[in-house]
Amino acid sequence: MAAGATARLVVALVALLTFEIALVGLDAAFPPDLARAERSSPVVLDRNGAWLRALPVEQGRWRIRADLSRTDPVFVRRLVALEDGRFYLHPGVDLASAVRATASAALRGQITSGASTLTMQTARLLTPHRRTLAAKLVEMARALQLQARLSKPEVLALYLTLAPYGGNLEGVRAASLAYFGHEPASLTNGEQALLIALPQSPEARRPDRHAGRAKSARSWVLGRMARAALIDAESAAEADHEPLPVRRPFPSLAWHAAGALARAAPARTASVETNIDADLQRRLERLASAAARQGPGTQAAIVVAEIRSRAVRASVGSAGLDAAGGWLDMTRALRSPGSALKPFIYGLAMDDGLLAADTALDDSPRRFVDYQPENFDRLFHGRVTMREALVHSLNVPAVETLDRLGAQAFEARLTGAGARLVRPNARFKEAGLALALGGVGISLRDLAMLYAALGDDGLAKPLAWTQAEAARNLTAPGRRLMAPTSARAILDILREGPPPAGRAPPALTRKAPIAFKTGTSYGFRDAVAVGVAGGYVIAVWTGRADGGARPDLTARDAALPLLFDVADQIGAAASAPRPIAPRAAPGGLRRLDQGSGPRLIFPPNGATIQADGFGPASRGFALAAGGSGLSWYVDGAPVPQDPVSGQAIWRPAAPGFYRISVIDADGRGAEARVRVKGG
């Protein structure tokens, strides 16, 4: 007997083990399909928890991921108590309820009570199907699978993500915002009752279409809550008189940035907590819309970030979705910065010991190999200080400084700080001097990042879009773009720029000036203005999204007023300027070209030039060089100056080879050997 009993026990254990292995195998081979839950959208929230934007899913459905930490816990407790009282006890299927429902149906000849648990309902929502006995068995198996994979809170969150609430609303957050205008973090008794009633018959009970049925269903749930001692009778009666809601449109603030953050959120993320200030964002979107009236097809973009943590407080990607190009996020677009990179040329040159704020530079016609820059107004100012060159955005001094600094080195240092620079034909050509005047593509976001480094003593850090990123930035070491002394000196100079037309000077308003720089790209295609105001960096752009030209609209006219308007909206006082140092560069830095003598512009050394004629009656050549107090010589003979233009005009006597020399007021010289050919 003992041997037989042992044998039967072994057989039973083997059978049980085989059954369990088969179940595990079936579970692995046919896992529950969670794709529908994954095709849901997180909610992008502002810094105070206000809803910015969520994304619709297939067929325009608003399937918003539930966030139990932002859902009224009283509502959750009442939902569980009414829908699945033993939710926290069963493994996904409540066998006691199933037996009771089956017995009741057998005795009465019809179904009088259901046995679906919240987990089973979730399984049905994941893969909708007709309600048959076979489907119910599959549903039970799927519920067991779900409960084996997910915790009870995760199952609840999944149910509250998929539950239908009428029309294209799925999920308690979508329903709460659409019907009540707020997150389900705090719900009235009437709101809770309606949200519990709707998923059972979402279309028939929609409050915006079937108010009577919705009210009856809410009353029925309130009655159940009272009978279950979840609410007292007086509170239930009061809740029954709450007005029924109407459907509201969803918020859509920071449309571009919030949409990108929602799409990039990790799987099952319910809420993306950003640093954006919804109130500021709303005001700046109105400003951008007004700025777009500058001309046909004009768009505008704005980025505002707090310098300390680089937290982005506002990001306006366009002036509106109804305007041309409005769907494009122009804060991310690669556009020419015009002269907006000049402060970094001078700052890095200060770092390298090439110049100081009051080093003398030469603003006169000059050719740099095959590149000959001109100032915007096509006028030249002679000897100027670096301070004056930056304030007045002179081109030749910036190009000369970049030539000394090295265009490739400059590009590498900005790239090393985290900026993305895109040049035409970058695969085939090295960086050139056109970088100084906007010959590169850069986004408004990266411009804001670079100027934020100026405001943070030369330390570059990425912009922080989420609260977690901002917290990391507070402790991150960052990347050194330039020395603190150089960054402060550049900001001091940028504060000297005159405000836009119609703005009173800071001395009259008793406001500390904003440190800013503008940039206008070739053909007036892009107008940018970037500034540091108090603890914030502001970057604005106006232009056409298609890159079209806007004749005569400079950044000073089209972008700078918008920057000052944004600074007013921020409400932060501009940072006070540092004490002005004596305006005298150190002896070794009084001139950028110190010790190098005059610079020949025309004719360049080794050139072959063609003359229309020869002798005193010929048209001749106007000789040009950078420097002051210049005297010209050809083969040792002085070249006379033209009495009208004051230029040295050389009229060669015959074709041949010549040696041209120029000597400045300090006795320094330069020469070129050229060949002259006849016409």
CA distance 660 to 602: 10
Just list the catalytic residues.
Answer: 83, 339
CA distance 175 to 304: 32
**Encoded tokens for 169:** 């609303």
Number of other residues whose CB lies within 10 A of the CB of residue 584? 11
CA distance 469 to 30: 39
Q: Which residues have CB under 8 Å from 440's CB, separation 6+?
A: 336, 337, 341, 411, 421, 422, 423, 431, 434
**Can you point out the beta strands (E) in 268-422?**
271-273, 298-306, 312-316, 360-363, 382-385
- Alpha carbon 626 to chain centroid distance? 44
Under a CB-based contact definition with an 8 Å cutoff, are residues 300 and 562 in contact? Answer: yes
Under a CB-based contact definition with an 8 Å cutoff, are residues 628 and 668 in contact? Answer: no
CA distance 45 to 273: 5
Under a CB-based contact definition with an 8 Å cutoff, are residues 594 and 622 in contact? Answer: no
Under a CB-based contact definition with an 8 Å cutoff, are residues 97 and 117 in contact? Answer: yes
**Encoded tokens for 312:** 């982005």
Under a CB-based contact definition with an 8 Å cutoff, are residues 191 and 220 in contact? Answer: no
CA distance 404 to 349: 8
Q: Which residues have CB under 8 Å from 554's CB, separation 6+?
A: 376, 518, 520, 524, 527
Question: Which residue is associated with the tokens 């540092």?
Answer: 578
Give the ranges where 51-132 is alpha helix by DSSP (H).
Answer: 73-83, 95-108, 118-126
Under a CB-based contact definition with an 8 Å cutoff, are residues 267 and 237 in contact? Answer: no
Number of other residues whose CB lies within 10 A of the CB of residue 612? 9
CA terminus-to-terminus distance, the chain: 128
- Alpha carbon 348 to chain centroid distance? 26
DSSP state of 67: -
CA distance 637 to 256: 68
Burial (0-12, 13-18, 19+ Cβ within 10 Å), 581: exposed
Under a CB-based contact definition with an 8 Å cutoff, are residues 333 and 443 in contact? Answer: yes
The DSSP annotation for 228-253 comes to: TTSS-HHHHHHHTTSPPP---PPP--
CA distance 641 to 644: 9
Pairing of strands 169-170, 62-63: parallel
Number of other residues whose CB lies within 10 A of the CB of residue 243? 9
**Encoded tokens for 339:** 């002269």
